[in-house]
Amino acid sequence: MSISTNDLKNGMTLDLPEGLFSVVEFQHVKPGKGGAFVRTKLKNVRTGAVLDRTYRADEKLEQAIIDKREMQYLYRDGNHYVFMDNASYDQLHVDETALANSAPFLKEGDSAVLQMYDNEIVGVDLPAAVELTVTETEPGIQGDRVSGAKKPATLETGHTIQVPLFVNPGDRVKVDTRSGEYLTRV
């Protein structure tokens, strides 16, 4: 579907010759002389690379319609994560690489919104934070309260994060899915 650069919106996805790009920001510029133009900052949906691009005002670009489907993560099968579509109950095998930075925060039974374009997964929307159980970490030592000191802890998904010294195995912790950092003990 063609769209004019005058109709760009943040978050819109464009199908450019270089790949799929999400509009991070844009600015209409009308200089004193010469034609108006649109300055954009675009983010590659697959690689995360950011590029700055300038277009003439009213230039036509190809808009990619991203289908967002809510799915439930069922289980892992080798390098694939198996999801079930909450609407159709179809199962979908998703390659680990398509999940990018989301895989470490997915546990069985969790819901995620998969962004799809032509049956290819181009992104995953997770909640801003998830609660996971610590399966392994050094035990906290009584009186060991050095402010800001951290230690590694393995979560139930197999992912390792840095946690404060007072966190013990079996504790539930809240983790920021964007930065991968410990937020609080639950």
Q: Which residues contact 100 (CB under 8 A, 6 or more apart)?
A: 48, 124
pLDDT above 80 for 141: no
Fold entry, domain 2-62? SH3 type barrels. (2.30.30)
- Exposed/middle/buried for 104, CB within 10 Å: 0-12, 13-18, 19+? middle
Domain 129-185 has CATH 2.40.50.140: yes
pLDDT tens for residues 75-106? 999 889 999 998 899 999 988 888 878 889 99
pLDDT band at 120 (very low <50, low <70, confident <90, very high): confident
pLDDT above 90 for 45: no
pLDDT above 80 for 148: no
- The reply to whether 67-125 and 129-185 are identical in fold is yes
pLDDT tens for residues 1-14? 899 999 999 989 99
Q: Based on C-alpha coordinates, what's the Rg of the chain? A: 21
Sequence ranges of the domains in the chain: 2-62, 67-125, 129-185
> In this predicted structure, what is the pLDDT of residue 46?
78
pLDDT band at 170 (very low <50, low <70, confident <90, very high): very high
Give me the architecture of the 67-125 domain, per CATH. Answer: Beta Barrel (2.40)
